Chains A and B, each alone.
Chain A
Amino acid sequence: MLAFAIRRVLISIPILIVSTFIVFLLVSLSGDPLSNLKTKQPRPPEQTIRLAEHRLRLDQPLMERYWHWMTGVARGYFGPSVSGGGTLDIGTEIGHRALVTLRLVFFAMVIAALIAIVVGVISATKQYSKVDYSFTFTGFLFLAMPTFWFAILLKEGAIWSNRHLGTKFKTIGENSPTISPGLGAHLFDDFNHLILPTITLALISYASWSRFNRASMIEALSSDYIRLARAKGISPTRVLIRHALRTALIPFVTVTALDIGAILGGAIITEYIYQWRGMGDFLLQDGLTLNDPYVVLAWLLVSGAAIIAFNLIADILYGVLDPRIRYE
């Protein structure tokens, strides 16, 4: 297993390197980072533009820039930034932002997976019942729900509730700028800010998983080994959990881990609505709106690495959960 994991990591590295190159190419071609500077009125002196170009290494050929960037990343330096006159340290910033986003993604995935398992099991055991149909319809509804629309709706609902019911939902930011000191107060504040975005992301994400879990539960429940388990006279609950769910979870875990890309996409939108200073904001605001190519590159690198890591976890979990898979 360990040997397999190591080999799998080694295979992932070239994929990541090739993808960094493609990403670098795309970002380089997708616009001039100095277009804001150049179109400024009155036009800044030629010298200023030259200097900025030099600082962003725009005067170097593409391959050289790529090489500089990659070797920099290996040393923990993610390249020069445009914004703040270059004072922004992309590495430090993205590290902080990634933690903020990770918090959201982690809780949303756990909650979504739990909902999906419960809904999937109930739907599968009560197939074609009213409960099953309503779960199915709700699932389809969330599959069709635009993340941004649902997030705004939830946010407005919370604001209304804060105003009329006296609740204290936090609708802006990942934490409060000023809070009383103490770890407890901090954790409570973070938790309070997490509630709405986590609900949004979890509900948007659970639907396809619950459909999947329902399907694998139905497949498991109609299998011969479930029939034998029932014929053995073990309790129906044990048949359902220890036999059907246990085998249905094998593909389920893989599918959830592989969905990290979609979750990250959803997190970008969710953070945007709730005005979190997370990864999403870093890409959309600092990276794209301010036209900062090295911010975009750092973002794609980090999220790409995260997705590859989740793929790896999925593979390894598959091996752990399914004794038929033996990695040589």
Chain B
Amino acid sequence: MSHYATGGATDVRTPSAGTVLAVDDVSVSFNTEDGTVRAVRGVSYDLHRGEVLGIVGESGSGKSVTSLAVMGLLPRTAHITGSVRLGNDELLGLSERQLAHYRGQQLAMIFQDPMTSLNPVYTVGWQIAEALTAHQHLSREAARDRSVALLKIVGIPNAEERANSYPHEFSGGMRQRAVIAIAMANGPEVIIADEPTTALDVTVQAQVLETLKTARTETGAAMILITHDLGIVAGQADRVLVMYAGRAVEVGTVEEIFYTPRMPYTLGLLGSLPRLDRAAQTRLTPITGVPPSLINMPPGCPFAPRCPMAEDICRVEEPILAPTNSPDHVAACHFSDRLEGMEPGDLFKSTTQDAELPADIGAAVPLLPGDPS
């Protein structure tokens, strides 16, 4: 599944030649009755042609909000700043009508819950055909034939017949395939998949991931894969962006993130992931505490209250993304160099409450729960 290697000299803030989507310093805030929620605070990344960028984080880390900001799908109450460039075109600030030109054609999105993503009153075939005719001049028959072909590509059996089915006659996995077919319809350059498998049964998840891979090979699109599941990222992504409290806290290739993380939060995430390549007796090491409130955030590093190696400076000054050993691997930590060669267990303690339990049961304490956002 290896696609394009991460291209040349990449400061995350300057788009390079191979960049299809450049997100620069995007911030999103909402005014609520409790105060201003700063959901995203200055996120930047480049998406290169054909690559898969995994965005990882807990609920409320801002990973979905960032992508909805890119698509222009946030509610009108959202206050968005920064820049989102698709090719050479700036997307932020465009009207709904202007955005419609890009959406579906160059920029497609797959949502978390396939049960509610499709309009219940139209057939699946009609909804795919609608996506096609929005951007291409096709006759009714041609649009219909193309919808059936797309349903076949995403692996719907009896596609001819099933095109006439209503969404409620489809299973969750089939609906998500249909949504993927809609995303593929116009051969977009970028597909954003927002937790595409979270709402599905574990058995179906692998199939849908396989379908996503098919969608990429068929369209050659670059993909942003948003998930809270590090396992999915490991299997699918080329590069990973870790988000915490509305910020990117570490960006790097999959290898860099998984083997040489330079931000304690990333290390903590890895420590909470059960791994088959480790000894069975290795305990999981959860991160204690909860993410900070996004209203009236305290100064300093947002992870400091949960960080075992936090020092005074961490509570005063918020670290910026800085290059580590490799210029493409950036992390936001004052002491990122100290993490070199560190294992999760060196930094985070395994839970102590289950001392009398056998190790393998104690290891089942959940850390990153299902993301209901």
Contact = CB atoms under 8 A, between A and B. Distances in A.
B119 A233 contact: no
B120 A243 contact: no
B329 to A, nearest CB: 32
B120 A233 contact: no
A224 B73 CA distance: 11
B120 A224 contact: no
A59 interface: no
Interface in A301-323: 321-323
Contacts of A321: 121
Contact of B113 (A224, A232, A246): A224
Nearest to B77: A128
B85 interface: no
B363 interface: no
Contacts of A236: 96-97, 100
Contact of A250 (B71, B121, B168, B185): B121
Interface stretch (B102-110, B251-259, B266-274): B102-110
Interface in B217-248: none
B131 interface: yes
A234 B116 contact: no
Contact of A233 (B104, B116, B121, B168): B104
A228 B120 CA distance: 12
A231 B121 contact: no
Nearest to B103: A233
Interface in A219-243: 223-225, 227-236, 243
Contacts of B104: 231-234
Contacts of B348: none
Interface in B131-147: 131, 134-135
B121 A247 contact: yes
B303 to A, nearest CB: 31
B101 interface: yes
B301 interface: no
Interface residues of A, number: 21
A229 B96 contact: no
A321 B185 CA distance: 27
Nearest to B115: A224
Main secondary structure, interface of A, reads helix
Contact of A324 (B102, B111, B134, B166): B166
A231 B73 contact: yes
Contacts of A233: 99-105, 131, 134-135, 186
A229 B71 CA distance: 12
A325 to B, nearest CB: 10
A225 B182 CA distance: 12
A233 B134 CA distance: 7
A229 B119 contact: yes
B130 interface: yes
Top 8 closest pairs, chain A to chain B, by CB = A233-B104, A233-B103, A224-B116, A225-B119, A232-B131, A232-B104, A231-B109, A234-B134
Interface of B: 71, 73, 96-97, 99-105, 108-109, 111, 113, 116-121, 130-131, 134-135, 166, 168, 179, 182, 185-186
27 contacts: A224-B117, A225-B119, A228-B109, A228-B111, A228-B119, A228-B182, A230-B96, A231-B73, A231-B109, A231-B111, A232-B104, A232-B131, A232-B185, A233-B99, A233-B100, A233-B131, A233-B135, A234-B130, A235-B134, A236-B97, A247-B121, A250-B121, A322-B121, A323-B120, A323-B166, A323-B168, A324-B168
Given A232-B103, A232-B134, 4 more contacts: A227-B111, A229-B119, A233-B104, A234-B134
